[in-house]
Amino acid sequence: MNINFTLISQAIAFSVFIWFTVKFVWPPLLRAIEERQKTIADGLAAGERGRHELELASHRSSDVLKEAKQRATEIILQAEKRASEIVEEAKKTAKEEGDRIVAGAKADIEHEVFSAKESLRQHVADLAVAGAAKILRREVDAKAHADLLAAIQEDLK
Residues of this chain that bind other proteins (CB under 8 A): 1-11, 13-15, 17-18, 20-22, 24-33, 35-36, 39
5/137 with CB nearer other proteins: 5
- CB of residue 48 to other proteins, shortest distance in Å: 21
- CB of residue 66 to other proteins, shortest distance in Å: 45
- CB of residue 71 to other proteins, shortest distance in Å: 51
| Contact between residue 128 and residue 156 where contact means Cβ atoms under 8 Å apart | yes
Buried-state track 1-27, b at ≥16 Cβ within 10 A, e below 16: eeeeeeeeeeeeeeeeeeeeeeeeeee
13/130 with CB nearer other proteins: 13
Residues 6+ apart with CB under 8 A from 156: 121, 124, 125, 128
